[in-house]
Chain A
Amino acid sequence: EPEVTQTPSHQVTQMGQEVILRCVPISNHLYFYWYRQILGQKVEFLVSFYNNEISEKSEIFDDQFSVERPDGSNFTLKIRSTKLEDSAMYFCASSEAGSVYGYTFGSGTRLTVV
């Protein structure tokens, strides 16, 4: 069964550093998403991406964050100048043609900012 692949599975970074989280969505999917889950809290929407541009973003997704699809397969989330409160599990997801066609989630990247 096709999978959404995320790398790395764990990342520890110093406060103030930049991190790039990587995702390979399912190849025929058109919509891509990033979500995050702070320990003990609900999963929160960050951003959705369609047709090579952001289609929707949350209040969390401020200038510190950016997304990119640098080639035909990868989808990245960049976090600039990381803060302690950015520590969370970050999930990438993709869907074939919007949420009514179902989502596939990656296994997540656990980011720890120290």
Chain B
Amino acid sequence: KNEVEQSPQNLTAQEGEFITINCSYSVGISALHWLQQHPGGGIVSLFMLSSGKKKHGRLIATINIQEKHSSLHITASHPRDSAVYICAVSGEYGNKLVFGAGTILRVKS
């Protein structure tokens, strides 16, 4: 059974700061997903990674398969980035996602 741990649980940043959210998992995976959940509750997929690094605008996601660790970075953070960021993984032999508890990010102006 895969355990997904995220840190920090809560993060408050000033506008413009560089933000890093970490995710670690316990067993082998086929893919790792970074998701964003806004107060209304809907979930938006940000990245799906199986190796290396991906970048979309101010968001960067990296994964180290050997260390079973991924990071999500936000450059030049903005109040509109305030949301819950969730890491989720799919196992080597299945398609279901196992979710982390999420990181609550608040960016103050």
User: Does A103 touch B at the CB level, under 8 Å?
Assistant: yes
Please state if B101 and A42 are interface contacts (CB–CB under 8 Å). yes
Which single member of B33, B48, B95, B101 contacts A55 (CB below 8 Å)?
Answer: B95
Please state if B90 and A99 are interface contacts (CB–CB under 8 Å). yes
Please state if B42 and A99 are interface contacts (CB–CB under 8 Å). no
Count the A residues whose beta carbon is within 8 Å of the partner chain — how many?
Answer: 27
Chain A residues, Cβ within 8 Å of B97: 33, 35, 43, 45, 99, 103
Count the B residues whose beta carbon is within 8 Å of the partner chain — how many?
Answer: 24
Q: How far is the CB of A7 from chain B (nearest CB, A)?
A: 14
Please state if B43 and A100 are interface contacts (CB–CB under 8 Å). no
Which single member of A31, A44, A91, A101 contacts B43 (CB below 8 Å)?
Answer: A91
Chain A residues, Cβ within 8 Å of B44: 105
Chain B residues, Cβ within 8 Å of A33: 95-97
For residues 39 through 94 of chain A, which have their beta carbon under 8 Å from a beta carbon of chain B? Answer: 42-45, 48, 55-56, 58, 89, 91
Question: At the interface, is chain A mostly helix, strand, loop or mixed?
Answer: strand
- Produce 1/0 per residue, B35-49, CB < 8 A to A: 100001111110010
Chain A positions near chain B (C-beta within 8 angstroms): 31, 33, 35, 37, 42-45, 48, 55-56, 58, 89, 91, 95, 98-108, 110
The 6 closest A-B pairs by CB, nearest first: A99-B90, A107-B42, A105-B43, A43-B99, A99-B95, A45-B96
Further contacts, 16 of them, CB under 8 A, given A99-B94, A100-B30, A108-B42 = A33-B97, A42-B100, A42-B101, A43-B99, A44-B99, A45-B98, A48-B96, A56-B95, A91-B43, A99-B33, A99-B97, A100-B48, A100-B90, A102-B45, A103-B97, A108-B43
Chain B positions near chain A (C-beta within 8 angstroms): 30-31, 33, 35, 40-45, 48, 50, 86, 88, 90, 94-102
